[in-house]
Structure 1
Amino acid sequence: MNISHIRLLNQQLVSPQYSDVHDLVSWMGMLQAQEYKMMRWAVGTRVKKPSMAAFREAYDMGRIVRAHLFRCTWQLVAAEDYRWMLSLCTDKNRLAIRGYLAYHGKRLEEREYERANDLIRRSLEGKGSVSKDTLLRRLKELGLVDDAHTMSIYLRRAEADGVICSGVLDNRQNTYALVDDRIPQVPDMLREEALALLVRRYFQSHAPATLEDFVWWSNLGVGECRAAIESIRSELIAESYAGETYFIHRDCRVRGYRRQTILLPSYDEYLIGYKSRYHAFEEEFRHRVHSSNGLFYPVILHDGQVVGNWHPKQEVSFFKDEMQPDIADAMLRYRRFLDSE
């Protein structure tokens, strides 16, 4: 079993199966969207014909949404998945926000969050999408004023509470809109049903992967994750590799791989979607792939292995002299994506 090759197929990085941006995001379950600009390429590189215009259309129409969800970090999800996904991670995110504040020696009471949420709603009602700067200015006019760090916490908590999510795409900064204005209501889903759907999406798009990988990706409890896997166990094939059990969903592709050089954006799912990443790069180059405090860099991928770094405005650099594949086609694909709008 070549784990890297199968992952590339199921993550749609090789021989992508989707033309529609929304359908690709739905297949992936969620896509890390930490970098506001790089998230566009994370989607673009996974569709048949990368198009910035297609990404913008799906984003502006609200078919895909950016919000703080699992691991209390930015992700892109399909709009119809937003509410049931939020229900799975709301409590964890509230705890994370509380812990983050405590680490910095500060505490906010629930009544303060409630007041902030009310003022945020008032600031956005009837306004559609507004930039972060505009929203903060309106909040100040309504009397919600604090240091920049605390104001960002109020916005983060409003996301965790399902008050706000991303608005239309701005070239420079994130925009916000009211969730109820942007995302249709859907019937409530039992937690067990939502967990089964989440674990199915993960192993369809990220396989081969382990229980530990799913726990990392979802940031849910080990017991809950184990139970979720068992709930779809009939759909999974278990393979033993290097003493670990990897699961492959029955809908996954395991054949059709072709060698390719790919420019991965920072924080890409091919790396950040797993707890263990040794399949993708040699340990001696780990610091060139991600830092000890969670920064993930844009990397050059060749035949499933990270061989160097790239940046849209800087020279590429390779880890070894013998690790220098031709990246001309990959760079051309990226340039065409940028020019497609």
Structure 2
Amino acid sequence: MAAAVRIRVTPKVMGRLRLASQGLLGTGFTRVPEAVRSMTAMQAQDLQSALWAVGVRVPDAGLSDVRGALDDGSVVRSWPMRGTLHLLAPEDLRWILNITTARMIQGTAGRHRQLEITGSDVEACRNIALGLVDGGRAASREELFAAFEAAGQPTKAQRGIHLLWMLCQSASLVPGPLDRNQQKFVAFDHWITTSRDLGREEGIAELLLRYLRGHGPATLRDFAWWSSIPLTEVRRALPEVSGELVELEYNGTQFWMSPEAAKLLDEGVPGQRSVLALPGFDEFVLGYTDRSIVLPPEHAQKIVPGGNGVFKKAVVAGGEVTGTWARQGSGRAAAVVPVPFDDSKPLGPATLAGLRRAAERYESFLAS
């Protein structure tokens, strides 16, 4: 039976609990793979944002450390859920795909009919691709597309990327080492030699537990959205893991988190004066279906202008998103420039000092 916490908390306290769960209060992780495993999956369709999302959680990590983890395969980047690229531990990719792939492919069926992609087309491209990456070789997207075209498989109008996506969904290919800011593709079984083997029910329970530990306090609906797993299956999985979690009631809704996060409520939740310069698409903002706890609804459009799915970089102060930021200039002249949500409330001296420290950490990350 899960422990339950029945105390009054504010939105900022909820936000700081999430910062703590995500390793964003400076005492999180010592190595890049450790941070990614703890988060389970980190949104990564924008590579530069994803690299900093890891770096901000590993205080001593530099850009080269995160890129190195992708180059040596201790972290992988693929499409495990929501049809969106994520970073995750290599041993987790196959069993998560086993849970999520069928639903994702069902969701793209109409688009694949428009692109005239059939099962036999995918199989033909699988044989071509595996021949190209045989023996541990890596192939660029351009090389794969050229091979597809030569075999009579068109790649225009997004047909090529959908074919590659299908090959990654079936664990035939996986994005591998970086070539500047693009990844080459490699054979899944060559690049990932050890995979966990979990059945669907066991896997959903495992994924739920790890999400709530790494993102909590969060709700079952948050997880169902994040994973694209039907809420009915999520609810069935909860009894399997609730004993390892703590329940928190907030505004009449049940939230779940790790015992370690819940303990902070007794000791005093840290981070009241914390200021972070988070990348766009960071899990702290994006990883929940209801973001209103940390992002005031009246300012949501300023983080995702026009609801276009492109998340801006976020300034987070004391557990609340208070504005956006941008890096202007380059080299020694580079500066992090904040854009507060409310122009009538300029940043105070303490917040500005915290932001300067966050900016210095970001510049140090880029330079190392």
Shorter chain as normaliser: what TM range? over 0.9
Q: 1:268 to 1:187 in 2, by over 3 A?
A: closer
In structure 2, what is the equivalent of residue 163 of structure 1?
Answer: 172
Give the aligned residue type for 2:280.
Answer: S
Structure 2, unaligned runs of 5 or more: 1-8, 330-336
Q: Deviation at 1:187?
A: 5.3
Offset of residue 225 of structure 1: 0.8
CA drift of 1:309 comes to 1.5
In 2, the alpha carbon distance for the partners of 1:203 and 1:232 equals 10
The answer to whether the 8 Å contact 1:162/1:179 transfers is: yes
CA–CA separation in structure 2 for the residues paired with 1:323 and 1:43 = 29
Which AA in structure 1 matches 2:169?
A: A
> Is 1:28 the counterpart of 2:43 in the alignment?
no
Counterpart for residue 216 of structure 2: 207
TM-score, reference length from structure 2: 0.87
What is the Cα-based RMSD across aligned positions, in Å? 1.8
Given candidates 295, 316, 321, the residue that maps to 2:338 is 316
**1:294 corresponding residue in structure 2:** 309
Report if aligned partners of 1:22, 1:78 keep a CA contact under 8 Å in 2.
Answer: yes
Q: Which letter maps to 1:129?
A: A
- Change in Cα spacing, 1:99 to 1:297, as seen in structure 2 (3 Å) is farther
Q: Which residue of 2 aligns with 1:226?
A: 235
Contact 2:93/2:195 (8 A) holds in 1 = no
1:268 maps onto 2:296 in alignment: no
Give the C-alpha shift of residue 282 in structure 1: 1.7
TM-score (normalizing by structure 1): 0.93
From the superposition, tell whether residues 283 and 197 of structure 1 become closer, same or farther in structure 2 (CA, over 3 Å).
Answer: same
The equivalent residue for 2:84 is 73
Amino acid at match of 2:98: S
Alignment partner of 1:307 is 2:307: no
Range with bigger deviation, 181-190 or 266-275:
181-190
State whether structure 2 residue 190 is matched by structure 1 residue 174: no
- State the distance in 2 between where 1:160 and 1:190 align: 17
Change (3 A) 1:76 1:312: same
- Say which is worse superposed, 143-152 or 191-200, in terms of deviation: 143-152
Q: Give SS of 1:130's match.
A: coil
Cα drift, residue 42 of structure 1: 0.6
Aligned match of 2:156: 147
- Identity among equivalent positions (%) equals 28
Q: Is the 8 A contact 1:15 1:257 kept in 2?
A: no
Deviation at 1:156, TM superposition (A): 0.9
2: distance between equivalents of 1:6 and 1:165? 34
Q: Helix, strand or coil: the match of 2:339? A: strand
Alpha-carbon distance in structure 2 between the residues aligned to 1:100 and 1:264: 34
Amino acid at match of 1:23: E
1:80–1:183 contact (8 Å) kept in structure 2: yes
Q: State which of 248, 271, 274 in structure 2 corresponds to 1:239.
A: 248
Q: 1:209 to 1:121 in 2, by over 3 A?
A: same
Partners of 2:132 and 2:139 within 8 A in 1:
no
Change (3 A) 1:101 1:144: closer
Of 90-99 and 266-275, deviating more is: 90-99
Measured in 2, the distance between the counterparts of 1:57 and 1:211 equals: 34
Structure 1: gaps spanning 5 or more residues: none
Letter in 2 for 1:271: V
> What is the aligned partner in structure 1 of residue 361 from structure 2?
333
**Aligned-partner Cα distance in 2 for 1:338–1:235:** 38
Q: Which amino acid aligns with 1:236?
A: L
How far is the alpha carbon of 1:127 from its aligned partner? Answer: 5.3
CA distance in 2: counterparts of 1:313 and 1:78, whole angstroms: 33
